[in-house]
Structure formats: C-alpha cells, structure tokens
Amino acid sequence: MRAGDRAWIVLGVGVCVYELAAADDELLSEAADRYMLHHPWIVRVVAFVLAAHVANALHPRVDPVHRLQPITRMVVRFRLHRSV
C-alpha cells in the first residue's frame, strides 16, 4: 500500500469518526451549509477546485493544489535549513 492509499484511508476514517462523534448541528455538511450562507462563492470555488484536482481534471500548470506542493517543500526546506 502506498502513502496516498493510506492517506485516503485515514481521511475517510477520520471523517466517519468525526461524524459519529459530532455534537448535534455540527456535522461537516451542516458546517458547509453555514459557510454557504456567508461565503457561497468561496465554498463553491473551493469545492470545485478540490474535486477537479482529485479527478485530475486540471492541468498541473493551472491546478492550485498541485502548485502548492513545490511551495510547501521549499518552505519546509528553508525552515529546516534555518534551524540547523
């Protein structure tokens, strides 16, 4: 099993555990409903971009999630280098 496979399992289990343990009116879908009331376009854009990223529907050059990986690596390396 590869790291990405384990990440999907952890993500799915985490969502299920949260949903089972959540207080009334605190399910993830109910939180999304609250966000939709105040920021409908942001919620729709984020949901679309994440779905398009997972479905590989965006070219890597225009996929914001894909473009975060090298930036994150650069920041981590910079911080590790500074702490030495």
- pLDDT band of residue 7 (cuts 50, 70, 90) is very high
What's the pLDDT at 78? Answer: 78
Range of the domain at 56: 24-83
In this prediction, residue 72 has a pLDDT band, given cuts at 50, 70 and 90, of confident
Q: Is residue 29 part of a domain?
A: yes
Number of domains in the chain: 1
With the C-alpha atoms ordered 65, 67, 71, 74, is the resulting torsion angle positive or negative?
positive
Please give the model's pTM, rounded to 2 decimal places. 0.72
Task: Give domain status of residue 14, yes or no.
Answer: no
Amino acid found at 23? A
Flag whether 19 is in a domain: no
Q: Is residue 4 part of a domain?
A: no
Q: List Cα–Cα distances, 44 to 24, 33, 47, 77, in angstroms.
A: 25, 11, 5, 33
- Rounded to whole angstroms, the Cα distance separating 4 from 80 reads 24
Q: Is residue 39 part of a domain?
A: yes
Q: What are the start-end ranges of the H helices in 1-84? A: 3-21, 28-38, 40-54, 64-83
Is 5 contained in some domain? Answer: no
Cα(22)–Cα(1) distance, integer angstroms: 30
